[in-house]
Amino acid sequence: MNSAGLIRRSAIGGAALIALTLASCSSGYRGYMTRSYTVRGQSYTPMSVDAALHYDETGICSWYNESKFFGLKRGDTSIGEKVMPWDISGAHKTLPLPCVVKVTNVENGKSLKVRINDRGPFIPNRILDITPRAAKKLGFRDQGLTTTRVEVISVGDGSYKRKKKRRFFFF
């Protein structure tokens, strides 16, 4: 085989490998995940995208680790994304997935943007679960729980992404 044929085969093989890799990264959803679901006999109905863009709540936040085998095996989120303990992501029972929220630790004033890509926490009186790294950045990983304020910044990904409209004092 001549060098031109070898280069062409290598290019085709490389393109196929890239396409296969990108396809395996897909999480299997388009737009927003807002379908109802049931956990432990309790039914949950996620809020609409418009309602979520005005979401602002203060309540108890905890942290969780979705990965397995001592953090060496990735866990799966409700929308099929892989998550590791060092990711900054979280879980909410009724916000559309995915969305980005600003989480502020009321007790120390630290805040962080968190991608919500999972469902939970399914423990009464808790509004949010976040990954260990996010809990550390917010300053409560050692305590396990804290009071946080959660404000939605945007809902969706890519061409489906919708942001909260900013309000100015003169309009």
Mean pLDDT (whole number) for 66-91:
69
The Cα 21–Cα 113 span in angstroms is: 28
CA 82-144-124 angle, to 5 degrees, is 85
**Digit-coded pLDDT (tens) for 87-133:** 899 999 999 999 999 999 999 999 999 999 999 899 999 999 999 99
Residue 118 structure tokens:
């999972």
pTM assigned to the model: 0.74
For residue 21, report the phi and psi dihedrals to the nearest 5 degrees.
-65, -45
On the question of pLDDT at 54 being above 80, the answer is yes
- Assign a CATH topology to domain 37-163: Barwin-like endoglucanases (2.40.40)
Q: In the prediction, which pLDDT does 23 show? A: 36
What's the Cα-to-Cα distance from 140 to each of 40, 60, 146, rounded to whole Å? 28, 12, 6
On the question of pLDDT at 65 being above 60, the answer is yes
What are the boundaries of each domain within the chain?
Answer: 37-163
Mean pLDDT of the chain: 80
What's the Cα-to-Cα distance from 44 to each of 39, 86, 91, 103, 117, rounded to whole Å? 8, 28, 14, 22, 16
- Helix %, strand %, coil % of the chain (to 5): 20, 35, 45
**Digit-coded pLDDT (tens) for 128-163:** 999 999 999 999 999 999 999 999 999 988 788 888
The Cα 33–Cα 94 span in angstroms is: 10
